[in-house]
Amino acid sequence: MIELLEQTGALRCLLLCAEKKRFITELRRSAVNPEGIASQNALDTVRVNLVQLGLITEEMEEGPRPRTWLVITDKGRKVAQKIREIQKILEE
């Protein structure tokens, strides 16, 4: 299971989703969004893996141009908290 979190951007995606629910487009790296965490292909893999692990869910907006939100689960929030603890240790 841990190998699913080794995907490019998986940990950052989880941490960002812990802050607030995010649109997929916010996380996608592109010419107009160089701060994104991963390319479209990598982000697609990350999404599938995080959903499979039960760390996030996806919610689709209504309307003619619906967008997909990534929403952290309680389990995902616990994992994100542990990742933050590890991050703090590494920054010491």
DSSP string, the chain: -GGGGGSTTHHHHHHHHHHS-EEHHHHB--SS-TT-SB-HHHHHHHHHHHHHTTSEEEEEPPSSS--EEEEE-HHHHHHHHHHHHHHHHHH-
Going residue by residue through the chain (92 aa), what tens digit of pLDDT does each one get? 778 888 778 998 999 999 998 888 888 887 777 778 888 888 889 999 999 999 999 999 888 888 889 999 999 999 999 999 999 999 99
pTM: 0.84
Q: Where are the domains of the chain?
A: 2-91
For domain 2-91, the CATH class is: mainly alpha
The HSE-up count of residue 20 (CA atoms within 13 Å, CB side) is 4
> CB atoms < 10 A from the CB of 75, how many?
12
